[in-house]
Amino acid sequence: MARIALDAFGSDNAPYEETQGALLFVKKTNHTVILVGDEEKLKTLVPEGTERVEIFHAPKRFGMSQKPTEILRMKDSSLAASAQLVKEGKADGFVSAGNTGAILVCGTFIVGRIKGVERPAIATTIPSVKGGTVLIDSGANASLKPQNYPQIAVMGLAYAKAVLGRKDPKCGLLNVGSEPEKGNDTVKEAYAFMKEKLGDAFVGNVEGRDICMGDVDVVVSDGFSGNIALKTLEGVGAFFSKSLKDSIKKSNIFQKIGALMMKGTFNSFKESFDYRKYGGAFLLGVNGTVVKAHGSSDEVAIYNALRVASQGVKNHILDRINEGI
């Protein structure tokens, strides 16, 4: 069974949400959670005698506004200590809803990169008509060299197999058009590298509108463009939800009755865009399972972040990436 370290002081509402998410996780699974943070505070939130929940004392909290590289000097912070547990083999992976940049630094310089990996990348599951599309990189690398793209694609394909359960995943290159000659020089060179290295797994260029359509399992991008695409999709989802609520409020009584009858359908639709369901984003290319949860995560999101982290361990995502590299 997996042992997952959880940075208990990462989220906006830490440590309550982390603790509750961990308790829910061990209740529903056979895995173990190591809560990392101020021991005295955590003891007040964990019922005595709770099985498969351990506490590792790390008194300091790394702030959201701190410079990411400062984490390397804060070894007694809950975030750095979580990464150190993975490096020492005392945990199979760690989850944090803290500072994204600091998580990248911890993954790269404390946990360490997989041999042969040049650029670790963030893989985020985007809701799609197929159940989910992997967007990689969604924020780790602002720019990439053309030769980096195939390696990042390999990591995304491994993720699609291990976490999403895709047997023969396909990937596409995010671009401004589907034709091979579209895009800037970097993307056009990346296209050639991906076609040569990935074979049938590479289907060519895809556009932003294709991410949610599920025509490919993995969309490959540099972190700058990928993060813009991610935030745009999040904004569109929020806009649609608010617009629908506002329209219902302004409707007449008969329309409101109709909306009430459709409440179940609306809730199912809303759930498909709920970030809590997907848990978090994987940092791929490092020697351990590292999952970045949303800063505003509640106990449900923390539970799901722990769940997908355990899936990554159970389905040997590191081995799949090593094989691909």
Pairing of strands 93-96, 289-292: parallel
Report the pLDDT averaged over residues 229-243: 75
Rounded percentage of the chain residues whose pLDDT exceeds 70 = 89
* Residue pointed to by tokens 């899936």: 311
C-alpha atoms less than 13 angstroms from C-alpha of 252 in its C-beta half-sphere: 1
Tokens of 14: 């830490």
Q: Are residues 19 and 81 in the same domain?
A: yes
pLDDT-above-90 percentage for the chain: 64
Q: Are residues 137 and 237 in the same domain?
A: yes
Whether 262 and 134 map to the same domain: the answer is yes
**302 and 209 within one domain:** no
Task: List Cα–Cα distances, 6 to 79, 238, 297, 313, in angstroms.
Answer: 8, 28, 13, 15
- 266-322 pLDDT, tens per residue? 555 555 555 556 568 999 999 999 999 988 889 999 999 999 999 889 988 888 888
Q: How far apart are CA 312 and CA 281, in angstroms?
A: 12
Based on the fold, state whether residues 96 and 189 are members of the same structural domain: no
For residue 143, give the CATH number of its domain. 3.40.718.10
Which has the higher per-residue pLDDT, 129 or 53?
53
The answer on 178 and 267 residing in a single domain is yes
Same domain, 112 and 135: no
Is residue 123 domain-resident? yes
Give the structural domain span for 74: 1-116+285-315
pTM for this predicted structure: 0.85
Reported confidence tier of residue 240, pLDDT bands at 50, 70, 90: low
pLDDT at 267: 58
Query: Are 39 and 178 found together in one domain?
Result: no
- Predicted pLDDT at 271: 58
pLDDT of 172: 96
- Tell me what pLDDT residue 257 has: 62
Tens of pLDDT, residue by residue over 43-65, are: 999 998 899 999 999 999 999 99
Dihedral angle computed from the Cα positions of residues 34, 35, 39 and 44, in that order, rounded to the nearest 10 degrees:
-120
Look at residue 322 and tell me if it is in a domain: no
Asked if 308 and 255 sit in the same domain, the reply is: no
Answer yes or no: do 125 and 211 share one domain. yes
Lookup result for tokens 């195939």: 150
Domain assignment present for 185: yes
Residue 321, in any domain of the structure: no
**68 pLDDT tier (thresholds 50, 70, 90):** very high
How many domains is the chain built from? 2
Query: 255 and 308: one domain?
Result: no
In a domain, 324, yes or no: no
Q: Mark whether 184 and 150 lie in a shared domain.
A: yes
pLDDT over threshold 60, residue 92: yes
